[in-house]
Amino acid sequence: MTNPPNTLPEKTQTILRHLMWCLLMPILASTPIIKADIFQPSMVIIIDDLGYNLANGLGIVNLPGPITLAVIPHTPHGASLARRGAAADKQIMLHVPMQNHAGIKLGPGGLTLEMKEQEFKKVLHKSMASVPHVEGLNNHMGSALTEKNLPMKWTMDVANELDLFFVDSRTTAASVAWQQAIDLKVPALKRDVFLDNDTSQAALEIQFQKAIEIAREHQFAVLIGHPYPETIKFLSKSLGKLDEAGIKLVSASALIWQLQPHLNAL
């Protein structure tokens, strides 16, 4: 006998997924409690800032494996790279420009502290519409905005509305973005390591090994890089080291849902 089809309304299914995520939050909030034998250590590699340079973007799209692509809205090549990335089985995120302490210009789709709720959400919705295949979002810059609860709540309201996950890029130690995601039941991760603040091959190797050690110790790590030629060159020759280290490369959402079946084992 075959199982009956799932007839729950889509909104009900979304609510149930968010309720399940409520159980997952303590796991992500204190990763050391995850038992070492639950699942193979995993790494998420997110490449930010895609959309302005087509050649560099394609260099990332063409890397092997489930690299997660974070595309800046309203960029000349953002939509094209998102489509090509999705066709290459890469997960697509929206890389949302957010106000920073340095006063760096945000460009189209930028979210600022001066915005009221309606304008803030309208801008974010337009940014979502500019990038196809979006399944999640993370912050581009945002050292000022991610420190404030209210704009982060509005961000998570939109994430909930569109059934998206969130990754806190942690561009400031005072970020409240991840905590707001937890409070509002948005599936979320946060960055562990920046790969390429220094793009020398020696520095890239140090950061990559740091992420590997975090994944070994805590069962997963989130690594963020950028579409620099040096980063592309490094990853093209280094991704194979993950298999050698016993670490599985996964997309952001794959890591999120990978945790679910193991709740009862904790």
Stretch 179-208: mean pLDDT: 96
pLDDT tens-digit profile of 161-175?
A: 999 999 999 999 999
Query: In the numeric block, which tokens belong to residue 161?
Result: 């509305």
Distance CA 169, CA 258 (A): 21
The region that residue 131 occupies, defined by phi over 0 for left and psi between -120 and 50 for alpha, beta otherwise, is beta
Q: Are 239 and 249 in contact (CB under 8 A)?
A: yes
CA-wise closest residue to 108 among 119, 92, 124, 121: 124
Distance CA 256, CA 190 (A): 11
What pTM value is reported for the model?
A: 0.84
For residue 67, give the amino acid letter: I
DSSP letters, 27-38, are: HHHTGGGS-TTS
Higher pLDDT, residue 262 or 207: 207
Beta strands 42-50 and 248-250 are parallel
Query: In the numeric block, which tokens belong to residue 143?
Result: 């050292």
Residue 39: the pLDDT is 72
Local structure of residue 144 (DSSP, 8 states) = T
Give CA separation, 1 vs 4, 5, 129, 183, in Å: 9, 12, 42, 41
- SS3 category, 193: strand
Residue 259: the pLDDT is 63
Residue 117: pLDDT over 70: yes
Which domains can be identified in the chain, with CATH numbers?
42-191+242-265 (3.20.20.370)
